[in-house]
Amino acid sequence: MSCKVTRRQFLQTASLAAASFPLTKIVSAETGFARTASPPPGSFEGTRTVTGGVCEMCFWRCQLVGKIRDNRLIKLEGNPKSIDNGKSICARGNAGIKLLYDPDRLKYPLKNVGERGNPQWKRISWEEALNECGARLKAVQEKYGGHGIAVFPHGSSAKYPMDFFERVVGTPNISEASFFQCRGIRDSGYMATFATAPDENVDMANAKAIFLLGCHFGENVHVSHVKRYLKGLEKGAKLIVVDPRYSASAAKSDIWVRIKPGTDTAFLLAVMNYLVERDKFDKKFVAAHCVGFQQFKSGISHASLDWAAKICDIPVQQIREVAELLASNAPHVAIHPGRHVSWHGNDFQRLRAQACLTALLGAVGVQGGFVKPKALKVKGISWAKGGEGVEHNLRLLADKYPYSPPGTPSELIRDACLTGKPYPIKACVIWGQNPMQSIPNQQRTMDALKQMEFVLCVDIMPTDITMYADILLPEASYLERFDFIKTGTQWNLADKHQQYVAPRMPLVDAMFECRDGVWITNEIAKRMGHGDKIPVNSLEEKVNRELGAVNLSIDQLRKEEGIHIRDGQDPYGVADDFEVQLYNEDIADNGYPGVPTYIPVEEVPKGFTRLVYGRSPVHTFNRTQNNVWLHHAMPVNPVWLNDEVAEKMGLRDGDEVSLVNSEDIKSTTKTVVKVTPGIRKDIVYMYHGYGSRNSLLSVGAHAGIDDQELITKLAIDPETGCHGMRNNFVKFVKDGKVLDIPA
């Protein structure tokens, strides 16, 4: 397959859908907002441009400008000054307008006068809401201690409240989705190998070969990252994609390895063993930087091509081809570390193997390889430390998960909630996370929430999780608030290395009664008796003081169109003391394999198929489901089914189905079948984030199937405590009849 793709053609795929939806118009009785599905008017006459926006439709934080007419934001664009995303933003970034003016947004504080999970909302004043939050959180703290509270944060605005609960209230039960269901294992796996976390800064733009394990760029979209990938392809890099599905990246690949899910570590071990046995590894790099080579070599010596081919269900020849292609392009190979890596509960070992492969190829600190470009550090101002300390940390108490990412594994928190051991957890603060859809086994989440004495949610939309709040507070959206200071680097410009600083500045004033997170946290802190410890009085002051520490200010940034650019440093080169633990003694001492090891995952039971999920190119998880532009681009999440299997089952493209899993949990909503040769016969695939159950979402509710509803079997990664989510098995239900999946 060729990889002759231009950047334009590629970005078209993502933007096409967003541009071609039908015209519909719904007017909300409550706000009078028109919900038009039409694109913004083509002419921007009479608009003024506001700079300083930073997108948070996802967490890549592209820099934005907004076009404003009649006090209304009518268009978002990439900030032309940006050396990161440039003028480009993705379909989701564009559609931020429709989040801002979504009639269903949370507008004022609400109190649940019904039940958790089946709420009835009563509008209350901020004063009443904050008094209740303060009093009830304080009561739980007094009765159970700081560790009687759990926090589920996500996103830039959640850091300040998270620090308050951790450092001042003494809450060790903090679980971020980005760590325990996303990329935490990657960071831990690389830390245990390279002593540094990878970021995604692998130098794809300058690589001769790019190796993607499960990453599917084009569906997974982070603008500047995708640009680096495309730049590499345009310059002729070979592309290897390991994926059970013919993904957007597989479609551009030179080698597509249609691997059996869960077996990637076996594949990596065989590639590495082949390189070692044939002396095709970087001996100089290994001698200079790697420890434990002999143990490593003997530890992987069983991994023959035949052994792996059988386990991975792929041709022997293909593994050899991959190894040869990597070796012949080394060291300029980009072994991508991945991002969502919580797959099967055997993931830490796979991430270690990926890091080891990178080292064997000497692909560190070189063009095309693993690099660590240095961005300017802007230190955040936050609460001073001084809570109860770590002795109550669940993770430490249980003496479990020595390689856990920062925070506490979500499962340990739910265990404590449900058993009261080692201590009860009786209040919960959920801020920018939707644990209903981000954490597997929804029943356990519901049960954990139901036993709480108090649940606070701070969000911008009504979602599946907000239905469990006692008090629900409306935060200002990312277009209406100061916030996070984004820093980064650009090292692909011809001989020029640059870095930038871009604080989030509001493009419009906050609407309704929405308030920012610093204000909300401070007001709660005062009412919990911690007013004396407040580190900063407003979000604007916080950002201004943080900028001050690097000789900048909000005023200065306004003059600089929202982005300050400085000279950067050459990211290439390897420090003399950079050390790679091919064999990690500490891991072995903790009772886990010290050499990367393949651990088999549960096989698909007869009559079922494995449920696999991933990113939709036009949505971010669940958070964008009510966005009318994005909804029109992809209203449901079709379930991909292999064509031969479909034929045997009598299913046709577009058939309406629901799914039932091997624990007899049935999806509460339906979707359609997508029949395709581009998927293995032993899996089905769907986009994550659909199937919201909150009826207040007038666009997104009940559209498509929520994959998380069907992910009930837990697979905990033994080294890290993170959740593996791809060991669940389903059957189809059509017209009320359960259909077995043929062998």
H/E element holding 564?
strand 564-567
* One of 227, 340, 713, 731 touching ligand MGD (CB under 6 A): 340
Residue 460 within binding range of ligand SF4, rule CB under 6 A? no
Residue 460 within binding range of ligand MGD, rule CB under 6 A? yes
Residue 338 within binding range of ligand MGD, rule CB under 6 A? yes
Residue 57 within binding range of Mo ion, rule CB under 5 A? no
Between CA 456 and CA 388 the distance in angstroms is: 22
571-578 contacts at long range (C-beta below 8 A, 24 or more positions apart): 571/201, 571/203, 571/371, 571/372, 571/373, 571/374, 571/489, 571/491, 571/497, 572/365, 572/366, 572/367, 572/371, 573/365, 574/289, 574/364, 574/365, 578/194, 578/195, 578/289, 578/364, 578/365
Q: Which of these segments, 213-221, 272-280, 391-399, 667-675, binds ligand MGD (CB under 6 A)?
A: 213-221
Residue 60 within binding range of ligand SF4, rule CB under 6 A? yes
Please say whether the beta carbons of 490 and 498 come within 8 A: yes
Q: Which of these segments, 84-92, 179-187, 499-507, 663-671, binds ligand SF4 (CB under 6 A)?
A: 84-92
Nearest residue (CB) to ligand SF4, 25 versus 87: 87
Dihedral (CA of 645, 647, 649, 651) sign: positive
Residue 444 within binding range of ligand MGD, rule CB under 6 A? no
**Interaction with ligand SF4 in 216-255: which residues (CB under 6 A)?**
221-223
Residue 253 within binding range of ligand MGD, rule CB under 6 A? no
Q: How far is the CB of 166 from ligand MGD (least distance, A)?
A: 17
Q: How far is the CB of 59 from ligand MGD (least distance, A)?
A: 6
Q: What are phi and psi of 558, to 5 degrees?
A: -60, -40
Q: How far is the CB of 255 from ligand MGD (least distance, A)?
A: 13
* One of 47, 206, 224, 247 touching ligand MGD (CB under 6 A): 247
Between CA 147 and CA 31 the distance in angstroms is: 41
> How many whole angstroms from its chain centre is CA 229?
19
Where do we find the tokens 């190119």?
617
3-state SS string over 631-691?
Answer: HHHCCCCCEEEEHHHHHHHCCCCCCEEEEEECCCCECCCCEEEEEECCECCCEEEEECCCC
* One of 64, 185, 242, 636 touching ligand MGD (CB under 6 A): 242
Residue 64 within binding range of ligand MGD, rule CB under 6 A? no
Query: Residue of minimal CB distance from Mo ion?
Result: 182
Picking from 618, 463, 600, 502, the residue whose alpha carbon sits closest to that of residue 65 is 502
H/E element holding 272?
helix 264-277
Residue 261 within binding range of ligand MGD, rule CB under 6 A? yes
Single-letter amino acid, residue 508: V
Query: Quick one: how many helices (H) and strands (E) in the chain?
Result: 25, 30
Residue 57 within binding range of ligand SF4, rule CB under 6 A? yes
Residue 725 within binding range of ligand MGD, rule CB under 6 A? yes
Q: Which of these segments, 64-72, 207-215, 252-260, 334-342, binds Mo ion (CB under 5 A)?
A: 334-342
Query: Residue of minimal CB distance from ligand SF4?
Result: 93
Residue 55 within binding range of ligand SF4, rule CB under 6 A? yes
Picking from 356, 296, 297, the residue whose alpha carbon sits closest to that of residue 595 is 296
Length of the chain, please? 743
Nearest residue (CB) to ligand SF4, 64 versus 268: 64
Nearest residue (CB) to ligand MGD, 215 versus 311: 215
Q: How far is the CB of 480 from ligand SF4 (least distance, A)?
A: 16
Residue 521 within binding range of ligand MGD, rule CB under 6 A? no
Q: How far is the CB of 341 from Mo ion (least distance, A)?
A: 9
- Residue 458 β-bridge partners: 431, 473
Picking from 10, 368, 488, 18, the residue whose alpha carbon sits closest to that of residue 217 is 10
Residue 722 within binding range of Mo ion, rule CB under 5 A? no
Picking from 409, 516, 407, 507, the residue whose alpha carbon sits closest to that of residue 458 is 516
Residues that bind Mo ion (CB under 5 A): 182, 340
Residues that bind ligand SF4 (CB under 6 A): 55, 57-58, 60-62, 85, 89-90, 92-93, 221-223
Residues that bind ligand MGD (CB under 6 A): 58-59, 154-155, 157, 177-178, 181-183, 213-216, 220-222, 242-245, 247, 259, 261-262, 264, 338-340, 343, 431-434, 437-438, 458-461, 463, 465, 475, 477-478, 612-615, 617, 619-623, 685, 688, 707-708, 711, 725-726
